[in-house]
């Protein structure tokens, strides 16, 4: 019983640490919650095989929650990458516009009076 309680406490502590680390490194959270989802699904299947239905239902729920959290962190990672790419495209467009404007602002022919004067 004590070992089970310690395992649950350790799992909760590691989950909180994964969420904290996931704020800066989303892939850490993706791997952690994805692994938890797979492990919970396997535990649910084992509980179903042994006809322990309350445990099977609980582990299926935990697997679904972990899969959803992993998916959320994965999409966050992709959203940030997409935003960075959009920023790079915007910077490239502005840089091209500036280059074009600087090229157009180069020295031009100056209008000078005609040597014979205006008639």
Helix, coil or strand: residue 10: helix
pLDDT given at position 49: 92
**Using one digit for the tens of pLDDT, what is the confidence trace for 71-118?**
888 887 666 666 666 677 777 887 888 888 877 777 777 777 777 766
**CB-CB contact of 77 with 89 (8 Å):** no
pLDDT of res. 64: 92
Q: Is 88 domain-assigned?
A: yes
Could you tell me the residue range of the domain that residue 56 belongs to? 2-100
Our count of domains for the chain comes to 1
Tell me, yes or no, whether 112 lies in a domain: no
Whole-structure pTM value: 0.55
Q: Is the pLDDT of residue 38 over 70?
A: yes
Residue with the bigger pLDDT between 57 and 30: it is 57
| 62: helix, strand or coil | helix
**Region 43-54: what's the mean pLDDT?**
89
Contacts of 32 (CB under 8 A, 6+ apart): 14, 15, 18, 22, 70
Report how far Cα 20 is from the mean position of its chain's Cα atoms: 14
């Amino acid at each position: 019983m004590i070992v089970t309680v310690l395992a649950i406490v350790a799992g909760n502590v590691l989950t909180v640490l994964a969420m904290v680390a996931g704020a800066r490194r989303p892939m850490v959270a993706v791997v952690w919650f994805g692994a938890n989802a797979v492990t919970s699904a396997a535990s649910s299947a084992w509980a179903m095989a042994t006809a322990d239905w309350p445990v099977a239902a609980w582990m299926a729920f935990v697997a679904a929650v972990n899969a959803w959290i992993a998916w959320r962190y994965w999409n966050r990672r992709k959203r940030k990458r997409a935003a960075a790419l959009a920023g790079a495209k915007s910077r490239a467009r502005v840089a091209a516009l500036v280059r074009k404007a600087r090229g157009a602002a180069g020295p031009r022919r100056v209008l000078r009076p005609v040597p014979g004067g205006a008639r």
